[in-house]
Every structure is written in structure tokens, then in C-alpha cells.
């Protein structure tokens, strides 16, 4: 327990998730949309949906932690490509975490 008597919990975030969130900071429009959603842990699915929509990625299915660990770097790459080339296209993601152009 901390000095204030509040129990604190540490959570592990996969490297892919951290990299994706850092890349979000380089996209002002997306960053503003995410800040509007708030930062509660139970809002993560809304954040992920917003990031995917920003990347023109349609998500369909229920995703396991393993699926998400595959998806995070793909979304990060998509954001980087969009930022550097200013191109976009729609991608559909199945519940296996794979991107299908």
C-alpha cells in the first residue's frame, strides 16, 4: 500500500501497444479524438476502434490478446505510412488479427 493507503496496480503493456500509442501522438486529429474519449481502462475498445477507423481499418470480430499483439504493429505501420505518404485505403481485419487489403 502507498502512504495514502491506496493500493496501486501495475499493468504490462505490450511493446506494440506502446509504439502504437506513441505514433498516435504524431497525428493531431486522432489525438484530439482520443482525448475526447477519456482515458479510463474500460474505454480501451473505443480507443482501438477510433485508431482503426482513423487508419481506414474495419475491425470485425472478437480479438484475443494474441490477436491484438499482432494488430498493434500493423496499425502503427498504417499510421506511419499514412503520415509519410498521405495515402489511404480501406483494410478489413478479421478476428485472426490479419490485415486484408
**pLDDT value at 78 more than 70:** yes
Q: 3-class SS at 7? A: coil
Q: What is the pLDDT of residue 77?
A: 95
The domain locations on the chain are 15-100
Distance CA 45, CA 100 (A): 21
Residue 5 confidence class, pLDDT cut points 50, 70, 90: confident
Give dist(CA 14, CA 68) in Å, integer.
9
Q: Tell me if residue 92 falls in helix, strand or coil.
A: strand
Q: What are the start-end ranges of the H helices in the chain? A: 15-24, 28-37, 44-54, 65-85
Question: Against a cut of 0.85, is the pTM above it?
Answer: no
Amino acid at each position: 500500500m502507498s502512504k495514502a493507503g491506496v493500493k496501486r496496480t501495475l499493468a504490462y503493456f505490450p511493446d506494440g501497444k506502446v509504439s502504437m500509442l506513441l505514433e498516435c501522438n504524431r497525428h493531431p486529429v486522432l489525438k484530439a479524438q482520443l482525448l475526447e474519449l477519456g482515458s479510463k481502462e474500460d474505454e480501451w475498445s473505443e480507443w482501438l476502434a477510433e485508431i482503426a477507423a482513423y487508419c481506414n481499418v474495419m475491425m470485425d470480430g472478437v480479438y484475443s490478446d494474441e490477436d491484438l499483439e499482432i494488430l498493434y504493429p500493423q496499425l502503427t505501420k498504417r499510421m506511419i505510412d499514412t503520415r509519410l505518404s498521405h495515402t489511404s485505403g480501406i483494410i478489413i481485419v478479421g478476428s485472426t488479427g490479419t490485415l486484408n487489403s
